[in-house]
Amino acid sequence: MTAPPRVPTLVLGGTGYVAGELLRLIAAHPHLELVAAISDSKPGERVAAAFPHLASAYPETAFVSAEEGLRLVTTLPACSVLAAAPHGVSAALIDRLLSAAAAAGTHPRVVDISADYRFSDADAYAAVYGHAHGAPTRLSDFTCAVPEHLPTLTTPHVAHPGCFATAMLLALVPLVKMALVEPVLYVSAITGSTGSGRSPTEGTHHPRRHSDLYSYGALAHRHAPEVVSIVERLTGQPVELNFVPHSGPFARGIHATTQARLVRPMSSAGVRAALTEFYAGQPFVRIRNEAPRMKDIVGSNYAELSATAHGRSVAVMSVIDNLTKGAAGGAVQWLNRIHGWDQATGLTAPAPGWT
């Protein structure tokens, strides 16, 4: 039996951590073929120079310019675009690619991992990010959700929620959608340093972050309104989210604790049973009886959740890898669905453990 042709795939924003994770996943995917890693800052430089751990997969592959990416989307009848360009840059770049493709009669499908297409309203985006949206007329072409929460995609393109948002949404959406909790929600979450991107900052510099733990953006983080908008759209229920993010002394992973008040008293086992039912048939979400640990999922596309209830108080703990399930892995999962493949294709490698 002849194997189906592989889908030509472009990665935008090619030198960041998320792009590196996308390239790693594409290399192992049976149906995707990298045709361009686009980086306007390093065109002509070998991928292996930016990501030495990918040298075996891309020994001679070099980054190309945005102009070359534009040429490719106009010559390939159908391709996939995984966009990991910075916030504020991605919207206009994607719009330019899609406009050129439409003029040429080609049909790329896009999964955006930046924040630029997470809101459906340009004013809401501007209120959070402090600048006008780069392509407001393109917003209606995108839907933002984690794959597990949207059975049917009605737009040609997808925006994947952020890493913090993914960890929160996996707990919040079932609690609200199943009407288990009152609409005032509290989340405390800790992320690894890779969540801050590749460029060194005061918060990611190792001597400052090592053996330390601190909060930032308490009750004012930009992911909170994104999460609220997604929860309300998926559940039809207004919610209040109180979010306190923390920087942890590790490179990869997110641990989020969601607390809320139950509508009626439930046992811990009862809450876990409800979560298990909600995620039935979803291969990447596992509900555990014991507290989830990041070492069990870091480096994989799996998420693990557990819950504890006492009277009308409930706490749901969720762990994900911020670069995989929270970004590149979730994007490839969406791409699998867009092309009609099993959503787990190319993503079932277990966590390495002991990282």
| pLDDT one-digit tens code per residue, 227-246 | 999 999 999 999 999 999 99
pTM for this model (two decimals): 0.96
The residues annotated with a catalytic role in the active site are 163
CATH code reported for the domain at 7-144:
3.40.50.720
The segment(s) of the chain belonging to CATH 3.40.50.720 are 7-144
Taking CB atoms within 8 Å and a gap of at least 24, the contacts of 139-144 are 141/98, 142/110, 142/112, 142/117, 144/117, 144/118, 144/119, 144/120, 144/226, 144/230
Distance (Å, whole) CA 275 – CA 277: 5
| pLDDT at residue number 225 | 96
Which CATH homologous superfamily contains domain 164-322? Dihydrodipicolinate Reductase; domain 2 (3.30.360.10)
Per-residue pLDDT of the chain (355 residues; tens, 9 = 90+): 556 689 999 999 988 999 999 999 999 999 999 999 999 889 999 999 999 999 999 999 999 999 999 999 999 999 999 999 998 999 999 999 999 999 999 999 999 999 999 999 999 999 999 999 999 999 999 999 999 999 999 999 999 999 999 999 999 999 999 999 999 999 999 999 988 777 777 777 778 888 999 999 999 999 999 999 999 999 999 999 999 999 999 999 999 999 999 999 999 999 999 999 999 999 999 999 999 999 999 999 999 999 999 999 999 999 999 999 999 999 999 999 999 999 999 999 999 999 8
The segment(s) of the chain belonging to CATH 3.30.360.10 are 164-322
Average pLDDT, whole number, for the chain?
95
E-assigned strands of 28-131? 32-38, 80-83, 109-112
